[in-house]
Amino acid sequence: MCGCRRSRSCVSGEPDGRCFNHANPYWRNKLRNLSCAWRPGSAGSAGMNPPGDRQSPTRITDPKAVAAITHPVRMRLLGELARRGSARVVDLASLVGEPPNSVSFHLRQLARYGLIEHDPDHASDRRERWWRQASDNGFHIDLEAIRVQDGGEAAVATLRRVAEGHVVALHRAIHGGDAATRHPQAVSRDFAVWLDEQELAEMRAELDQVLERWSERSRAHAEAEGRGERRGYYGVVMSAPEDEMFRVYADQERGES
């Protein structure tokens, strides 16, 4: 997952660096080729950024970190921190509908792998802990680095299953059910374009800018609080060469994958 700032996480693992999932809020680090400066963290960590570096996405190379980020409650916590920027345990507990002690446990697990950290800029005293993502650009999951480790293939399979599950759930939330349960403000649009490599890069950069602008507005609303009725939204932006997509589709129809 490349560490874009839209959804806060995405997965890259193809030989040419392409990602297979580009999400918004917590898997919000859209699919984008990425080379990030990093250095290994302590044992059991994901790969910490240098102190003060909040621009490079946190690089995840530890298969054990996959369990931390794919737990349903932790995915929701990452999403809330992506939307809000920073939050207290009591706020997050209310947002995800979990007891504060349970939320504290899950936050500690995310912090253990370097995905989140305390936010000293918001704490009014030492008794009040605020949490934020370790990087303003989310995290980058390096599938190739994970694959070569013990348990790596199973971890990659888990990531793919979760990413595909998100896409299916998103489609069903938008198009499933009857008209009474469908949300009228849902965003759904497909597209087909004919591009060279430079044009593809330009389109990706423009989409990044649009999503980043709205992400910053989301965090500003969270800081101000009380600006009308708002809901959290999750989105995915994905594209692939059409011939490859239909090849995969044909394999699925034949039951080969």
pLDDT in tens, 193-229: 999 999 999 999 999 899 888 888 887 877 666 556 7
Quickly state the pLDDT bin for 10 (edges 50, 70, 90).
Answer: very low
40: left (phi over 0), alpha (psi -120 to 50) or beta: beta
pLDDT at 63: 92
Query: Has residue 4 got a pLDDT over 90?
Result: no
Residues 66-83: tens digit of each pLDDT: 988 899 999 999 988 988
CA angle 169, 171, 172 (to 5 degrees): 65
Strand pairing class (130-133; 116-118): antiparallel
Who contacts 188 (Cβ-Cβ below 8 Å, separation ≥6)?
A: 174, 175
CA angle 34, 78, 30 (to 5 degrees): 30
CA distances from 132 to 19, 61, 85, 138, 208 (A): 25, 21, 6, 10, 21
Who contacts 113 (Cβ-Cβ below 8 Å, separation ≥6)?
A: 44, 45, 46, 60, 62, 64, 65, 68, 69
pLDDT at 202: 95
Query: Has residue 154 got a pLDDT over 90?
Result: yes
How many angstroms separate the CA atoms of 216 and 1, rounded? 21
Query: Has residue 6 got a pLDDT over 50?
Result: no
CB 238 within 8 A of CB 31: yes
Who contacts 205 (Cβ-Cβ below 8 Å, separation ≥6)?
A: none
Compute the average pLDDT of residues 137-165: 90
- Crossing angle of the two packed helices 63-70 and 72-84, in degrees rounded to 10: 80
Kindly report the number of other CB atoms within 10 A of residue 194's CB atom.
6
How many angstroms separate the CA atoms of 69 and 64, rounded? 9
CB 113 within 8 A of CB 60: yes
Strand pairing class (139-142; 9-12): parallel
Query: Has residue 21 got a pLDDT over 70?
Result: no
Query: Has residue 42 got a pLDDT over 90?
Result: no
Query: Has residue 245 got a pLDDT over 80?
Result: yes
CB 160 within 8 A of CB 20: yes
Residues recorded for the chain = 257
